[in-house]
Amino acid sequence: MNPIRGFQNAKLGVKLGLGFVVMLSISLTLVANDQRSMSSSEESFGDFGRIATNSLLIANVEKGLLGTAVSARDYQLAPTAENMAKLDSSRQLFQDTLKTARDAIKNPERTRILAEMGETQNSYDSTVVKTTKLIDTQMRILSEEMTPLGVSVRQAISDTNDLAQKANDLELSSDLGKINESFLLARLSVYKFLQSNNLDDQKRINEELKEAEDALKDALSKPNDASLNQRLTSIGADVPRYRAMADKFTDATAQRNQLAMEAARLRGTLLGQINKVMESQKADQDKLKQQVAQDFSTARWFAWSGLAVALLIGVLCAFGLTRTIAGAVQTMTRAMQALAQGDTKVEIPARGRGDEIGAMAAAVQVFKENAIERIRLEAEQAAENEAKEKRTRAVERLIGDFDGQMASILRTVSSAATELDSTAQSMSATAEETSRQATASAGAAEQTSANVQTVASAAEEMTGSLMEISRQVSRSTGIANDAVNQAEQTDATVQGLAQAAQKINEVVELISSIAGQTNLLALNATIEAARAGEHGKGFAVVASEVKNLANQTAKATQDITAQIASIQDETNGAVTAIRGIGGTIRQMNEITTTIAAAVEEQNAATAEISRNVAQAAAGTQEVSLNVGQVMEASAQTGSAATQVLGAASELSQQAEMLRTEVERFLAGIRAA
């Protein structure tokens, strides 16, 4: 059997299934290759993630190390309990992060480096602890030994200086001032050295203490009072003690500095070890990047190769299916299109095939035969329908002519009846509205006449009221003028009071000036009495009393000045208020004058209103007469409109009956 012939006669499902099997085989091959590449990439990404996690752990170790260094520096600058707690927390964090990193990292090289870091960390932590203890020793020496002794020496020097001044020993007082200055500078240098850790400040401590000791020796070598010598001897013993304490303090500082340098060296070693671990992890990351890139490149090559093979096989399958299926389907489609367009002579292809195409050709052949029979039956039915249509068109033409003529006549009659009905309704409504308006006008005219009479009476009463208002306004104007004159007199009186207060203020200023000069004279007298010595003591007492009297006089003048200022403020306020009252009264006078003029104008207007009201009364009577005549005419118009409306309604009913009968007649004809 011919294989090609057998493939052509095979079912379409078999052909398509074979093609899909080939494509699925290729797809499975590509998926298997992708799965292998993904597994390799997944393993590489897992290693990369572990290295990234370990890098984060090493970064935390570095953070703990730097945090410990910062906390140690803060405690050195400010040795408080809070900073010590921060330092302990940082040390513990450094230890915990390093232990976590050592437990997590399994790479042999990095494990070795982390083991070395553990040993270095122990040394670094021990150095930090020793440094804090030396700082505590420094602060104990400073607070418990040096500070109390320094305060005691400073007080002893001050007390001895007071005794020397009382003994009028100016030379010893000067020496004690130098001793005090050197000792204070030495103490200041101690605190500066604590903050700066500068060797110049340490040198300054020794220099200032030596100057204090030399000054003490110089003071003791001079003849002094026994009690003063005893005090100087005591101070001379305390200053060397303070020097010994300062030496102990600076020695502790030197040891602290050595430990700080050792801690810095160990910290540098730890940072170097951290960098080695980071560099080792970075090298592994670079290797993983290269491996992942190579895996992706291999997977990409297999993917493109498989795609090319799949494309080639797909093209071959498509070509085979096109030749066996698509060609026959296209030929069958052209035959079916010709048959659909009415070509019953077309030949149906592939009727001898054993697949679905052959079955389709047999079915199309049946459609062809049915189409030929349908064309024959349609020709017979068309001839019969043509005869019926000729008779129907003739009847429809006659009915249409009759319907058009009757519709035109009925529209004319109906339109005329509608217009007549509308006109009658309009006339009736107009007559009713005219009657209603006339009735309302008559009532309004009567009401207007009554209102006019009322207005006339009110105008007369208003004239009398306006005359009384004019008289009262004239009286108010006179009273306002009197008030203005009194306010001006009061203003002048208060102004005189203000001027008198100002003169009193000038006198007080003169007294204050005299008191100041007296105070200066008393001060000069006191100075001269001091220069005179014992002979000027009595004069000094008198000068002191004069100074006290001058101070009391100055204080009294200040009180008087304050009171006068208060009087002036109150006087100025009274002047302002009185001037405001005068202005208000003037405004009231102007308003009453304006009211008087308005009342005069109102009298004239009221007289004119009375005259016009009389004329309006005569006019309203004439309007009432004309309104009666209009009401009679509107009644006649309403009667005529009612008659026309009845006739129009009757005509409209007759036209509607005629239209109904014609429609019934035409419907019967169309139904027949």
**Cα(110)–Cα(281) distance, integer angstroms:** 8
Asked if 350 contacts 358 with a C-beta cutoff of 8 angstroms, the reply is yes
Tell me the C-alpha distance between 444 and 33, whole Å. Answer: 112
pLDDT tens track for 516-527? 665 665 555 565
Fold match, 14-307 / 376-671 = no
What is the architecture, at CATH level 2, of domain 14-307? Answer: Up-down Bundle (1.20)
First to last CA, the chain: 75
> Angle at CA 257, nearest 5°, toward 251 and 262?
130
The three-class DSSP label of residue 347 is coil
Closest CA to 538 of 550, 528, 548: 528
SS (H, E, C) 532-571: HHHHHHHHHHHHHHHHHHHHHHHHHHHHHHHHHHHHHHHH
Q: What is the pLDDT of residue 156?
A: 93
* Chain centroid to CA 234: 73
> What is the mean pLDDT of each successive set of 10 residues along the chain, which is 672 residues long?
59 64 70 60 63 85 90 87 91 91 88 91 92 90 91 93 88 90 92 82 90 89 82 91 92 88 92 91 82 74 75 73 68 76 76 70 72 75 74 67 65 64 63 64 61 60 64 64 65 62 61 60 57 55 61 66 67 64 64 63 63 60 59 61 63 68 67 64
Structure tokens of 465? 């009221």
Helix, strand, coil percent content, the chain, rounded in steps of 5: 95, 0, 5
Give tens-digit pLDDT for 421-461: 676 576 567 657 656 765 665 565 566 566 656 655 755 66
Burial of 597 (0-12, 13-18, 19+ CB in 10 A): exposed
Per-residue model confidence (pLDDT) at position 122: 93
d(CA 259, CA 617): 128
Topology (CATH level 3) of domain 376-671: Helix Hairpins (1.10.287)
Amino acid code (one letter) for 342: G
Structure tokens at 623: 């309007």
Burial class from Cβ neighbours inside 10 Å (0-12, 13-18, 19+) for residue 588 reads: middle
Distances (CA, A) of 341 to 192, 344, 345, 346: 115, 9, 11, 11
pLDDT, residue 663, reads: 73
pTM over 0.75: no
Would you kindly state where each structural domain of the chain is located, as residue ranges? 14-307, 376-671
Number of H helices, E strands in the chain: 11, 0
- Predicted local distance difference test score (pLDDT) of residue 335: 73
Place of tokens 């499902």: 13
For 540, residues 6+ apart whose C-beta sits below 8 A from its C-beta are 525, 526, 529, 530
- Whole-angstrom Cα distance, residue 118 to residue 105? 14
